[in-house]
Amino acid sequence: MNYLIPFLILITIVVFIHEYGHYYFAKRYGVGITDFSIGFGREIFGWNDSSGTRWKICWIPLGGYVKFFGDRNVFSQSENSEIINKYNENERKKLFILKPLYQRSLIVFAGPLANFILAILIFTIINLFVGKDVTPAIIEEVQNDSPAYKAGMLKNDKILSINQKNIESVLQVSSIINTSVSEEIEFELLRNNNKIILLVKPNFSDSKDALGNSVKKRIVGIRLAPPNGEFVKQPLGPAQALYHSVNEVWFVSVTSLRYLGSMLTGSSDTSQLGGPIRIAKITGQVAEYGIIPFLSVMAYISISLGLINLFPIPMLDGGHLMFYFFEKILGRPLKQKTQESFFRIGLFVLVFLMFFATFNDLKDLGLF
């Protein structure tokens, strides 16, 4: 229960924001909405608003959906003459399928966009009221015969950048090293007021993260420590806080895509791909450290949800955007049978990923 409750709070907020993005733009463009659901399956409770939308909470809390007026299901349709003929002129104005292509595209894109905005908002609040960590990344120790030692790193070297990514905090170093997909990692160091560049080929090691979870880490063999043992937090002004928040969302998105790409090519460890069980575990662990770490995890999960939904896989928002792209190029929607074939492929891919991620989660718990 210590893990379940924080997870349910986090996933409910993130999913609600995602679906509200769809809902907001749909309402803006006059699309009728019959259902706004958090979760799938049987309804636990719900209510109807003045416009006739059914707002409900369902038993399976691993997503949600907004159902548009006239849709036979939550997916967009391409051959709709039978549907259109069922409605009068006023009702047709509320049909999603009759809206211009740019409006449909914005409605679909608005879900992932809302997730990115939520992450930016969370990071901005943290930067404003808690502050951004600006502790310099100074090397306290270089282990003998380690990759860093062989590359020529020394104690008291200050890390300025890793793979051309500026290091603004000691807390960035580990995450950038472990999300690197290159065989060698480029370090820019400051030594005796001189800048030097070293290439380090990391080792791989089974290790534990800060929460005690098993991970496969890239090890370069350095130990960092904040000066006087204290981290330096610097509250930022509104403009700076927003800038760094947008930059963080961009960095996480690009890094995630590179890491996923390296998984597909077999150059990265696929065991780190987790699903709902691992997310619930990490959420519960982080929640024990307070509201700020919990909000930070919420921001990262929100980025992940927005990013995944933009993948060009049918059944995801990116799949619909892919269909709209074809519609723009061809001057007409893809035929219904073609869409259904794509949906079957998308369903297979999603089910495979779900089972693969769940297997990793169960293996992480020691059940395999």
Phi then psi for residue 36, to 5 deg, are: -130, 105
Is residue 268 within 8 A of residue 87, CB to CB? The reply is: no
Is residue 336 within 8 A of residue 77, CB to CB? The reply is: yes
**Measured distance CA(30)–CA(94) in Å, rounded:** 6
Q: Which residues are catalytic?
A: 19
> Residue 52 has what DSSP assignment?
S
Phi/psi-derived region of residue 310, left when phi > 0, alpha when psi is between -120 and 50, beta in every other case = alpha
Mapping DSSP to helix (H, G, I), strand (E, B) and coil, where does residue 358 land? helix
Environment class of 206 (CB within 10 Å of its CB; exposed 0-12, middle 13-18, buried 19+): exposed
Around 103, how many Cα atoms within 13 Å sit in the side-chain half-sphere? 16
For 52, 168, 247, the CA distances from 34, given in Å and listed in that order, are 7, 48, 37
Three-state secondary structure readout of 61-120? EEEEEEEECCCCCCCCCCCCHHHHCCCCHHHHCCCHHHCCHHHHHHHHHHHHHHHHHHHH
**Measured distance CA(25)–CA(112) in Å, rounded:** 12
**Measured distance CA(281)–CA(62) in Å, rounded:** 15
